[in-house]
Amino acid sequence: MPDSTPAIEVRDIVKSFGEFRAIDNVSLTIESGVFITLLGPSGCGKSTLLRTIAGFLTPDSGAVIVGGRDVTALPPHIRPVNMVFQDYALFPHMSVRRNVGFGCEMKGMTKSDIEARVDAMLELIRLPDVGDREPGALSGGQRQRVALARALAPDPVSLLLDEPLGALDLKLRLELQHELKSIQRTTGKTFVFVTHDQDEAMSMSDLVAVMKDGRIEQLDTPRAIYARPATAFVAGFVGAANMLSGRVVGTDGAALRLEVEGLHWSVPADAVTGGRTVATGDAVTLVIRPEDVIVGPAPGRGELVLPARARTQTFLGGRVHLRCETAAGTALTLEVRPGSVPEGDGAIDLHVAPDAVAILANDKGHS
């Protein structure tokens, strides 16, 4: 397969269960060697999309292309992809070695090739000594690593991982996040990972597809998803977001002039996200992350200033969540250093760098 062939292409997939449309016309191109995560709340269609790629579900319409080949009509075991499930799905009465070698056996590889492949896989997951055990004699984390080795052994184009760390406790989960990411880098395989955990998605992925109601709301790098969310849903789902309503009062080349709660602000024109454009008179939503606000007596040069009233503070160790309210009554939650804001209901000035603001173009009719 030439490098330029995408590992997976999903074209115009629609999948309904009865009247309910679980996947609503999704298209997605995944380049080879990428770690991509489908992220979204429960029921948004992540698993349905993954299972459609794997071949466990047949789409109502659309196509699934793997390694340049249309596999839409092929059953799962013929497709050059393998799935890893949350509940491991290992064969309980087979040794770890047989589990890991199972896909290779199915492919008709020779005994000695299978042995060599199993050894390499057990090295890769750093469990070279558990080959003769049965899965029941392993810890949850070890079982999931064996499941990963089993899925990788037949050398698929891509691994499809459906909440593979969901059954593990937090400490183990963090450990396996690192391990999974490192195995993905070492093998150079394309990983399509499903989770509803934003931190997991942000820390592991090259790309994140944020899903809602059977559609992809935004496909971007974790950094861009966080700093330049394309929609209010993405802004609110990935990290904490403060939102202010504003209106465009002028545009002049590189700058956008806004009226926000009676104040006049100027932000870079490229602060508008989601490939949208705005014109004078348009209603917009400003997204400001809690850690991008400084509470202080004097703003830095060019900083936007928003007068507010402090309400409550929640001490979290190295940082404090400060709840406050603008003069127009918008509630904001900020993240500040302990001791940087006096306790109590005082008037404060909030300062924000103009390039820390993301601007969402409101849909017409919702302004």
Residues that bind ligand ATP (CB under 6 A): 17, 22, 40, 42-48, 196
The residue (of 57 and 356) whose beta carbon lies closer to ligand ATP is 57
- Min dist CB 141 to ligand ATP, Å, is 21
Long-range contacts of 168-177, Cβ-Cβ distance < 8 Å, separation of 24 or more: 168/140, 168/141, 168/144, 172/140, 172/141, 173/200, 175/141, 176/141, 176/144, 176/145, 177/203, 177/204
Residue 104, token pair as written in the block: 């290779």
The residues pairing with 333 across neighbouring beta strands, listed in sequence order, are 323
Residue 233 and residue 216 in contact, taking contact as beta carbons nearer than 8 Å: no
Beta-carbon count within 10 A of 22 CB: 21
Give Cβ neighbours of residue 296 (< 8 Å, ≥ 6 apart): 349, 351
- Min dist CB 22 to ligand ATP, Å, is 4
Q: Residue 213 belongs to what H/E stretch?
A: none
The residues pairing with 335 across neighbouring beta strands, listed in sequence order, are 321
Lookup result for tokens 């070492």? 186
The residue (of 48 and 242) whose beta carbon lies closer to ligand ATP is 48
φ, ψ dihedrals at 321, nearest 5°: -90, 120
Calculate the alpha carbon distances from 262 to 78, 266, 307, 313, 352 in Å: 62, 13, 11, 27, 16
Residue 26 and residue 38 in contact, taking contact as beta carbons nearer than 8 Å: no
- Min dist CB 211 to ligand ATP, Å, is 7
